[in-house]
Chains A and B, each alone.
Chain A
Amino acid sequence: MLTPLLILSGVGLVMAGLLAVGRKAFAVDVDERQEKIAEILPGANCGGCGFPGCSGFAAALVEGKADPASCPPGGPELAVEIGAILGVEVEAKEPMVALVACAGGDGESPSRAGYLGVSDCAAAHAVAGGPKSCPYGCLGLGSCIEACAFDAIVPTSNGLVMVDPEACTGCGKCVEACPRGIIRMVPKKRKVHVLCVNPDKAKAVKAACSVGCTGCKLCAKQTGAIAVDGALASVVSDSEEIPGSAALACPQGSIFDGGVYSLPDWLSGSEARADFSRRSAEWKKAEKERKAAEKKAKAEKAKEGEA
């Protein structure tokens, strides 16, 4: 019984010794900080940092070529951890998520032709400008879904796609994947969005889509955070809260108020739309009355002044 034990442990020892010697002889210098960082990175290899994969990012961090806060999936917590390993101070970044800025589904912006070919947005866009009435709107073929490493983009029932802000890490891959540039990065905390990218004038927009922005500027009158460039409104500032009235003022229903509706309901639910029309009408009526009262008060004041 003893002999086999001795032999085995002898063989084991000899090989262990050889290995130890080998490790010394063939030692390769790897910055251990790099290994540590690589361990805490998400490992999704999404490329959001701009380096080839997580290991590439780790190497770039150690060499001082990368900003610790540039890993979108990891967020600010990870940035702090990386900073601790590297021994540098890290400034927290505002968390961003992707937003598909189009609400013109099959019902709002129907297809103008039958499309036959590769099921890919870029491919469809290149064929006669795409089969959708709106030449700027979401084609819904899901090139962004393919590009997303986190399954954060899902198709809606009416031919659109939407981003789940909870699953989105803000890596920005979908922004590159969208051939029409509909997807943009927005602060995660922002509630109100203009869901249209069509820059055409009112007549063309109305012909293409029933929920497209016509550039009427009514929203901009409600808040300084929304500005109209040409014939398209967009949120230009995140420093102030956007009032719900900005959405209610829109005659097209192009502005989505996340404080009142959920995005899936808004995109594909006629109930949310109906509710919005009702609230919008009420608001407009109230606004009219308020204005009339104001005018009256002013007129009276002026009268008083005269008198």
Chain B
Amino acid sequence: MSLLIIVLMAMLTENFVLSKFLGICPFLGVSKRMGTAAGMAMAVLFVMLVASVITYVLQTYVLVPFQVTYLQTIAFILVIASTVQLTEMAVQKLSPSLYQALVIFHAVGAAGGFAIALLLFAGLREKLEGASVPRAFKGAAIAFITAGILSLAFMGFSGLAPSN
């Protein structure tokens, strides 16, 4: 039960994209079509998994012992960027079905949240494509506004906790 709550909390209350504004770049990049959005959600799952393992190792065995935790951000960026690159290569070569098998770990919650936001958002943006959005707001601007309103809505889950 508590595990489920952790996953749910990560998905809704602490939603990566909509609460913490992380991962906005891929979020806006691929959410134009439902199909690509689903693929991206999978890739995120994989990258988050690998990256969290590597950064964990980096944090506990390198940064903390050498007392350079202030390098955390930059080192993590390096690792994550490289992992993304690696995944991209892998996707180009292998079929995306491979890493479907890798979907087991605890990053499921966070990535699931990303996936929900991404899928909802993809649907919204498909609908937006047919809308006569004023020229000035076309493209990224309207996508950001949509994401902003969606995150307002997700704020409703703040303080979500099993009955107090």
Report the bound CA distance from A25 to B91 in whole Å. Answer: 12
Provide the residues of chain A in CB contact with B78, threshold 8 Å: 8, 11-12, 15
CB distance from B90 to the nearest CB of A (A): 6
Instruction: Establish whether residues B89 and A23, one from each chain, have CB atoms under 8 Å apart when the complex forms.
Output: yes
Q: Is A116 an interface residue (CB 8 A)?
A: no
With A11-B58, A15-B78, A26-B94 in contact, is A4–B85 under 8 Å at CB? no
Q: Is B97 an interface residue (CB 8 A)?
A: no
Which secondary structure dominates chain B's binding surface? helix
Report the bound CA distance from A27 to B94 in whole Å. Answer: 10
Instruction: Establish whether residues A7 and B89, one from each chain, have CB atoms under 8 Å apart when the complex forms.
Output: no
Report the bound CA distance from A236 to B86 in whole Å. Answer: 60
Q: Is B92 an interface residue (CB 8 A)?
A: yes
Q: Which of B63, B75, B86, B93 contacts A18 (CB 8 A)?
A: B86
Instruction: Establish whether residues B66 and A26, one from each chain, have CB atoms under 8 Å apart when the complex forms.
Output: no
Instruction: Establish whether residues A7 and B92, one from each chain, have CB atoms under 8 Å apart when the complex forms.
Output: no
Instruction: Establish whether residues A7 and B93, one from each chain, have CB atoms under 8 Å apart when the complex forms.
Output: no
CB distance from A50 to the nearest CB of B (A): 25
Q: Is B48 an interface residue (CB 8 A)?
A: no
With A26-B89, A28-B93 in contact, is A7–B82 under 8 Å at CB? no
Q: Is B136 an interface residue (CB 8 A)?
A: no
Provide the residues of chain A in CB contact with B63, threshold 8 Å: 7
What is the 8 Å Cβ interface bit string for chain A, positions 5-21, against chain B (1 contact, 0 not)?
Answer: 00110011001101100
Closest chain A residue to B89 by CB distance? A26
Q: Is A117 an interface residue (CB 8 A)?
A: no
Provide the residues of chain B in CB contact with A27, threshold 8 Å: 93
Q: For the side of the interface on A, what is the size category? A: 10 to 19
Closest chain B residue to A6 by CB distance? B66
Closest chain B residue to A16 by CB distance? B82
Provide the residues of chain A in CB contact with B58, threshold 8 Å: 11
Closest chain A residue to B83 by CB distance? A15
Report the bound CA distance from A18 to B90 in whole Å. Answer: 13
Instruction: Establish whether residues B90 and A7, one from each chain, have CB atoms under 8 Å apart when the complex forms.
Output: no
Q: For the side of the interface on B, what is the size category? A: 10 to 19
Instruction: Establish whether residues A8 and B75, one from each chain, have CB atoms under 8 Å apart when the complex forms.
Output: yes
Instruction: Establish whether residues B86 and A7, one from each chain, have CB atoms under 8 Å apart when the complex forms.
Output: no
With A3-B68, A8-B74, A15-B79 in contact, is A28–B85 under 8 Å at CB? no
Closest chain A residue to B74 by CB distance? A8
Instruction: Establish whether residues B66 and A19, one from each chain, have CB atoms under 8 Å apart when the complex forms.
Output: no
Q: Is B6 an interface residue (CB 8 A)?
A: no
Q: Is B71 an interface residue (CB 8 A)?
A: yes
Closest chain A residue to B81 by CB distance? A15
Closest chain A residue to B86 by CB distance? A22
Q: Is B62 an interface residue (CB 8 A)?
A: yes
Closest chain B residue to A27 by CB distance? B93
Q: Which of B62, B79, B85, B94 contacts A7 (CB 8 A)?
A: B62
Report the bound CA distance from A25 to B94 in whole Å. Answer: 11
Provide the residues of chain B in CB contact with A18, threshold 8 Å: 82, 86
Q: Which of A7, A12, A22 contacts B66 (CB 8 A)?
A: A7
Report the bound CA distance from A19 to B80 in whole Å. Answer: 12
Closest chain B residue to A30 by CB distance? B92
Provide the residues of chain B in CB contact with A15, threshold 8 Å: 78-79, 82
29 contacts between A and B (CB under 8 A): A3-B66, A3-B68, A4-B71, A7-B62, A7-B63, A7-B66, A7-B68, A7-B75, A8-B71, A8-B75, A8-B78, A11-B58, A11-B62, A11-B75, A11-B79, A15-B78, A15-B79, A16-B82, A18-B82, A18-B86, A19-B85, A19-B86, A22-B86, A22-B90, A23-B89, A26-B92, A26-B94, A27-B93, A28-B93
With A11-B79, A28-B92 given, can you name 5 additional A-B contacts, CB distance below 8 Å?
A7-B63, A8-B75, A8-B78, A11-B58, A26-B90
B residues with CB within 8 A of A: 58, 62-63, 66, 68, 71, 74-75, 78-79, 82, 85-86, 89-90, 92-94
